Amino acid sequence: MATHPLASDQPDSLPDLSEVALDRLTRELAHRAESYDRNPRFPRENFDILAREGLIGLTVERRLGGAGAGFVDALRVLGAVAKGEPSTALILFMTYAFHAAPEKGRRWDRALYERLAREAVAGKGLVGTFRVEPELGTPVRGGLPATVARRSEDGWRLSGEKIYSTGSTGLDWFAVWAKTDEMPARLGLFLVRPDADGITIEPEWDHLGMRATVSHKVIFADTPVPPALAVDLRAPEEWAPRPGDDTSALLWNALAIATIYDGVARAARDWLAGYLNARAPANLGAPLATLPRVQEKFGEIEALLLTNHTLIESAARAADTGLPPPAHQANLIKHIANANAIRAVEIGLELTGNPGISRNNPLERHYRDVLCSRIHSPQADTVLVGAGKAGLNAAGIGR
């Protein structure tokens, strides 16, 4: 996927992705970050800004009015957004990945998909995929969902519960993972409008950090779904990964999650640099930033973030040229980058002491947000087992 449109295919206007523009975006979004944390709500004002800047349809193909952005440019935007307010970035990522997935062109009704794409280009059309359930947990570890779609005279009726439903109260579309009541059952996605009948959102999201993701429980009770909105139904075994399958969805997840929490760590780093340069204890007579020990620890932060940048950007550039890393390496990048981001913020806490964990300063919020990186699928055990198997097999062991 190209990262810049050809001149002959350009939409009327492309979003400004210059460093100056992205830095300005970061600062504008950061103004409300503390408010969203203390009074959790969908970050509507931030999405109004993203719509104004033409950034919601960034990965929509050029012929539908989007910028046709690939990994490099989309991740640059996600990083800038996350540095300002990371919950906004996590919600935005779902729409970016949705429009970058090639199976939409093969399996979906083309007119339906183009409708969603044009909505995104117009600054709306936010999509969230709801997969996690109270009993099943994440389907990444296997099993069929309890959420079921039953045939009706006018299409389907959807019933079940989804938890950790990122963006719940502000999305334009829910893409709900469910099984059918057929024999044998099929498995797949049902597109649902949030204002459809039979939907209840229980405001139960009250987590350590990333509080503006409003990842509440969404309950479907005989919710009607027109036939055309059962968009991708397959036999369960057809969803199992196979050699040669397209892995772009996995790569989007790995690199986007890594980018978002790296953005949190960079926001923490910038605040810390200002604090260390301004704080001059009376017994020192100079800013803390002049102490070799402080410089050494800040250098450790720089090393961690440089590692993240190198890993993420190299994988993104490779993917944009058609040479994506294998799945186990993509997940390792996510695992390493998230661990580095957490450690970078922890060093900031070590250097600041009490001010670092005071709610009067943003470092405490950055730390709570960056810790949330650990919960995203696939989790550390799955990532490391996959990497271990790949390494052992490559060495001719463990077959």
What pLDDT score was predicted for residue 143?
A: 79
Tokens 């998230």 locate to 338
Write the Ramachandran bin of 134: left for phi over 0, alpha for psi from -120 to 50, otherwise beta: alpha
What are 68-97's pLDDT values in tens digits? 999 999 999 999 999 999 999 999 999 999
Residue 9 has pLDDT above 50, yes or no: no
- Mean of all residue pLDDT scores within the chain: 93
Residue 5 has pLDDT above 60, yes or no: no
| CATH-assigned architecture of domain 248-394 | Up-down Bundle (1.20)
In sequence order, what E strands does the chain have?
A: 127-130, 148-152, 155-165, 173-180, 187-192, 199-202, 216-225, 230-234
What pLDDT score was predicted for residue 238?
A: 87
What pLDDT score was predicted for residue 1?
A: 35
What pLDDT score was predicted for residue 245?
A: 65
Burial of 237 (0-12, 13-18, 19+ CB in 10 A): exposed
Number of Cβ within 10 Å of residue 35's Cβ equals 14
What pLDDT score was predicted for residue 191?
A: 97
What are 198-242's pLDDT values in tens digits? 999 999 999 999 999 999 999 999 999 999 999 999 999 888 777
C-alpha Rg value of the chain to the nearest Å: 22
| d(C-alpha 292, C-alpha 345), whole Å | 19
The CATH superfamily of 7-125 is Acyl-CoA dehydrogenase/oxidase, N-terminal domain (1.10.540.10)
Looking at per-residue pLDDT, the higher value among 72 and 13 belongs to 72
| d(C-alpha 314, C-alpha 141), whole Å | 29
Residue 11 has pLDDT above 80, yes or no: no
What pLDDT score was predicted for residue 106?
A: 74
Residue 179 has pLDDT above 80, yes or no: yes
From-to residues of CATH 1.20.140.10 in the chain: 248-394
Q: What is the pTM of this model?
A: 0.93
Q: Model confidence at 7, in pLDDT bands (50, 70, 90)?
A: very low
Tokens, residue 363: 């470092």
| d(C-alpha 32, C-alpha 322), whole Å | 38
What pLDDT score was predicted for residue 10?
A: 46
What are 329-361's pLDDT values in tens digits? 999 999 999 999 999 999 999 999 999 999 999
Q: Model confidence at 138, in pLDDT bands (50, 70, 90)?
A: confident
What are 268-299's pLDDT values in tens digits? 999 999 999 999 998 899 999 999 999 999 99
230 SS3 class: strand
Q: Model confidence at 305, in pLDDT bands (50, 70, 90)?
A: very high
Number of Cβ within 10 Å of residue 101's Cβ equals 17
From-to residues of CATH 1.10.540.10 in the chain: 7-125
Residue 8 has pLDDT above 50, yes or no: no
From-to residues of CATH 2.40.110.10 in the chain: 130-235
| CATH-assigned architecture of domain 130-235 | Beta Barrel (2.40)
